[in-house]
């Protein structure tokens, strides 16, 4: 480990600026929250998507993970749920989670190191250190202009040649949109763009990977999954929509809702339409293998 980390800002659980004081964190924004509702949502969504995708990753690394000795990095690790889950399933590897907010669990397995780190300042690791890097749900955490240089190029730097980078993101919309849901997401996209975010950044992901110079087109595998939302898809999908509700609420607060409607009745309408039109969440996974010789 000593050879991997170049500068450390380690999480100190006794530091009063940590979780107890977390609302004062300077990085708090609409999408980088560490309130209890966000933490709960991230944890539930982790289990929901693991079940839907039938696993925590798509990269062809299962046997290597079982054999152990791999260096794994989770970037923007949030509550650390993915990292902890992986370290339980495949305990013979070393896991790192980097996150700008101090929201890691207090109790953690010994084979995990959580570091406070702003990815925009670069990762505190030597080049070619990791066998596998995981990044999930960061499309609304970072503005589009930093994705290429500060994020993807930096991940490519710390990934070893032949190692895998996996990115999972969901579209900021659903499939089979009814008229109100269509209007809702149109307004959400408009608002996000006015705040400087790109709500369809997923479409650029392959381009970012190739432009980094570290991945060949044929070594990038893109998989899309349509995940049913609502009662029509069974118990799990019903739970999925309930969890998604808190995100819909954040979005609804961003936009001007139609006159004569309060936010709860408006969200009920959106929820009902998602269910009636049998809408799906559109989930993407990109697995890219780094070139052996660059």
Ligand X SMILES: C[S@@+](CC[C@H](N)C(=O)[O-])C[C@H]1O[C@@H](n2cnc3c(N)ncnc32)[C@H](O)[C@@H]1O
Q: Which is nearer to ligand X, 223 or 265 (CB)?
A: 223
Q: Is residue 18 within 8 Å of 11, Cβ to Cβ?
A: yes
β pairing state of 280-290 and 215-228: antiparallel
- Whichever of 139 and 279 has its CB closer to ligand X, that residue is 139
Q: What residue is closest to ligand X based on CB?
A: 78
Q: Compute the least distance from the CB of residue 115 to ligand X, in Å.
A: 10
Q: H-helix or E-strand containing 51?
A: helix 36-53
Of positions 78, 102, 199, 240, contacts ligand X by CB under 6 A: 78
The yes or no reply on residue 32 touching ligand X (CB under 6 A) is: yes
x/- track of binding to ligand X for residues 133-172 (CB under 6 A): ---xxx--xx------------------------------
Q: Which is nearer to ligand X, 116 or 266 (by Cβ)?
A: 116
DSSP assignment string, 229-251: -SGGG-HHHHHHHHHHHHHHHHH
Q: Could you tell me which stretch among 93-101, 153-161, 209-217, 251-259 binds ligand X (CB under 6 A)? A: 93-101
Least distance between ligand X and beta carbon 279 (Å): 21
Closest CB to ligand X among 149 and 231?
149
- Backbone φ and ψ of 288, nearest 5°: -125, 130
Q: What residues numbered 108-137 form the site for ligand X, per CB under 6 A?
A: 117-120, 136-137
Using CB under 6 A as the binding criterion, the count of chain residues that bind ligand X stands at: 20
Written as one string, the DSSP assignment of 57-85 is --SS-HHHHHH---EEEEET-TTSHHHHH
Q: Contact between 99 and ligand X (CB under 6 A)?
A: yes
d(CA 247, CA 252): 9
How far from each other are the two terminal CA atoms of the chain, in whole angstroms?
25
Read off φ and ψ for residue 214, nearest 5 degrees.
Answer: -105, -10
In sequence order, which residues have a C-beta less than 8 Å from that of residue 157 and are 6 or more positions away? Answer: 123, 127, 128
92 is an interface residue for ligand X by CB under 6 A: no
Site of interaction with ligand X (CB under 6 A): 32, 42, 46, 76-78, 82, 98-101, 117-120, 136-138, 141-142
């Amino acid at each position: 480990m000593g050879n991997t980390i170049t500068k450390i800002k380690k999480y100190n659980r006794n530091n009063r600026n940590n979780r107890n004081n977390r609302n004062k964190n300077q990085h708090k924004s609409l999408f980088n929250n560490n309130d209890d509702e966000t933490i709960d949502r991230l944890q539930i969504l982790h289990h929901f998507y693991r079940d839907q995708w039938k696993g925590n990753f798509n990269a062809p690394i299962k046997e290597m993970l079982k054999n152990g000795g791999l260096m794994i990095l989770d970037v923007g690790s949030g509550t650390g749920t993915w990292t902890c889950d992986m370290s339980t399933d495949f305990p013979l590897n070393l896991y790192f989670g980097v996150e700008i907010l101090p929201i890691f669990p207090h109790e953690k397995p010994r084979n995990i190191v959580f570091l406070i780190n702003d990815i925009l300042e670069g990762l505190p690791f030597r080049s070619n250190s990791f066998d596998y890097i995981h990044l999930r749900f960061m499309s609304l955490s970072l503005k589009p202009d930093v994705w290429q240089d500060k994020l993807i190029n930096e991940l490519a730097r710390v990934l070893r040649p032949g190692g895998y980078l996996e990115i999972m993101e969901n579209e900021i919309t659903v499939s089979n949109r009814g008229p109100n849901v269509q209007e809702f997401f149109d307004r959400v996209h408009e608002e996000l763009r006015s705040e400087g975010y790109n709500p369809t950044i997923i479409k650029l992901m392959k381009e970012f990977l190739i432009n980094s110079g570290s991945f060949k087109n044929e070594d990038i595998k893109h998989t899309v999954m349509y995940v049913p939302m609502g009662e029509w898809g069974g118990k799990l999908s019903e739970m999925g929509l309930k969890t998604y509700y808190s995100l819909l609420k954040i979005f609804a607060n961003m936009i001007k809702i139609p006159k004569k409607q309060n936010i709860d009745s408006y969200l009920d309408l959106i929820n009902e339409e998602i269910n009636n039109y049998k809408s799906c969440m559109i989930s993407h996974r990109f697995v890219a293998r780094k070139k052996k010789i660059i």
